[in-house]
Amino acid sequence: MTIDLRSDTITHPTPAMREAMANADVGDDVFGDDPTVARLEARVAQVLGKEAAVFTPSGTMANQLALRAHTEPGDEILVDANAHIYYYETGGPAALAGVMCRCLPGVRGIFTAADVEAALRPADQHFPTTKLVCVENTHNRGGGSIWPMERIREVASVSRHHGLRLHLDGARLWNVAAATGIPEHTHAEPFDSVSVCFSKGLGAPVGSALCGSRQFIQRARRFRKMFGGGMRQAGIIAAGALHALDHHRARLAEDHANARALAEGLSQLPGLELDPASVQTNIVMMRVKGRPAAALASQLNEAGVRLLALGPDTLRAVTNLMVSRDQIPLALDIFGIVLRRDA
């Protein structure tokens, strides 16, 4: 048996989700004829408190559509230096939207209103025009960190004061709501646009969505077609996302509890350094001492636990729909055996 902690993207559809997908009503989504896609878009817009939504194949596409729809080539965006938009989207801001990224020095991915103020350029023909502030919540490379609502409001206030728009990369916004008890629409309210993912914590096989005003989504839909994201009988995959949205959000608390249990156990093992109190959602980051993180990841994989090295001395484990509470002690046993064997 393998315990897969590489990501919450590795999940398989549940039997109920497969049934919903098999029975989905479909049409041509580019023509606006797919009823299941339409239901999903209306539902996710309602959950996030926005006027409209567009279904996309991936979270990267949803984010890049937002950048392109909010900006023009030569503009600048403000983003945390470790944000997914900047770090993991293959240079998309430059290649697809033609924008510059001005990176802010966030702590676990969370920056301040003062950071935004400090990054603003004076009005001068030599400089790009800053148009957009991007927030990631939860923050992936921040270890699943949650933005406090007060910090979001402060950043939003200074951004509005300077005429900047706001985009939320909410790929794991469902985890934020599950951890805080504050509904998704409250976290999304300060933002002009929000992207969310159905294939991470919610366990759908494919898909994300971008939400915002009707006018904004109409513009984004045009760029979706330009970027190659226009889908045809997409109701088959939209049905899985719709099932996940309606049935899997509440269970995210299980992933969070499993992550905390994993972190507590790992903190007691030799060769690892981590603070269990830093685990807010389903991501556990740990520092490896005495060996390369990639080497330890390879040894753990051979022993039955899969996870990712995010840097020379950093490992990430992500609890997910495919990992039960009973598997956490088994994973800890394997960690202990490997760490002590090769110490």
User: Do both 161 and 25 map to the same domain?
Assistant: yes
End position of a domain, from candidates 247, 275, 293: 247
- Taking 80 as the threshold, does the pLDDT of residue 342 lie above it? no
Task: Say if residue 29 is in the same domain as residue 94.
Answer: yes
Q: To the nearest whole number, what is the mean pLDDT of the chain?
A: 97
Partners of 77 in beta bridges: 101, 132
Confidence of residue 343 (pLDDT cuts 50, 70, 90): low
Whether 1 is in a domain gets the answer: no
Predicted pLDDT at 184? 98
Q: 5 lies in a domain?
A: no
Task: Indicate whether 226 and 195 sit together in one domain.
Answer: yes
The CATH number assigned to the domain holding 336 equals: 3.90.1150.10
Q: Last residue of a domain, which of 247, 272, 291?
A: 247
**Long-range CB pairs of 272-276, under 8 A, 24+ apart, other chains included:** 272/335, 272/339
Let me know if residue 96 belongs to a domain.
yes
Instruction: Give the pLDDT score at 1.
Output: 82
The answer on 283 and 206 residing in a single domain is: no
Residue 135 tokens read as 């927030």
The residue range of the domain holding 22 is 15-247
Q: How many CA atoms lie within 13 A of 311 on its CB side?
A: 10
Contact 293, 314 (CB under 8 A): yes
Return the half-sphere exposure (C-beta side, CA atoms, 13 A cut-off) of residue 231: 22
Count the domains in the chain.
2
Q: Residue 123's pLDDT is what?
A: 87
Q: How confident is the model at residue 117 (pLDDT cuts 50, 70, 90)?
A: very high
What one-character DSSP code corresponds to residue 96?
I
Residues 30, 81 within the same domain: yes
- Give the percent of the chain with pLDDT over 90: 98
- Where in the chain does DSSP place strands (E)? 3-4, 52-56, 76-80, 100-104, 130-136, 165-170, 193-197, 208-212, 272-273, 283-288, 305-306, 308-311, 314-318
Query: How far is residue 33's CA from residue 47's CA, in Å, rounded to a whole number?
Result: 22
Identify whether residues 157 and 291 lie together within a single domain. Answer: no
Strand partners, 170: 196
Q: Are residues 108 and 191 in the same domain?
A: yes
pLDDT of residue 341: 82
- Domain membership of residue 206 (yes or no) is yes
Tens-digit pLDDT profile for residues 232-262: 999 999 999 999 999 999 999 999 999 999 9
- In angstroms, the CA 109 to CA 2 distance is 31
On whether both 96 and 138 belong to a single domain, the answer is yes
Q: Are residues 94 and 107 in the same domain?
A: yes
Do 20 and 138 share a domain, yes or no?
yes
Please say which residue of 186, 216, 247 terminates a domain: 247
Is 112 in the same domain as 230?
yes
Judge if pTM exceeds 0.85.
Answer: yes
In-domain check, residue 224: yes
Domain harbouring 139, CATH code = 3.40.640.10
Q: Quick check: bond before 138 cis, omega within 30?
A: yes
Is 273 within the bounds of a domain? yes
In a shared domain, residues 182 and 202: yes
Strands 130-136 and 165-170 come out as: parallel
85-111 pLDDT tens trace: 999 999 999 999 999 999 999 999 999
In a domain? residue 7:
no
Position 270 in a domain: yes
Distance separating alpha carbons of residues 117 and 9, to the nearest angstrom: 35
Instruction: Give the range among 38-42, 121-125, 146-150, 298-302 with minimum mean pLDDT.
Output: 121-125
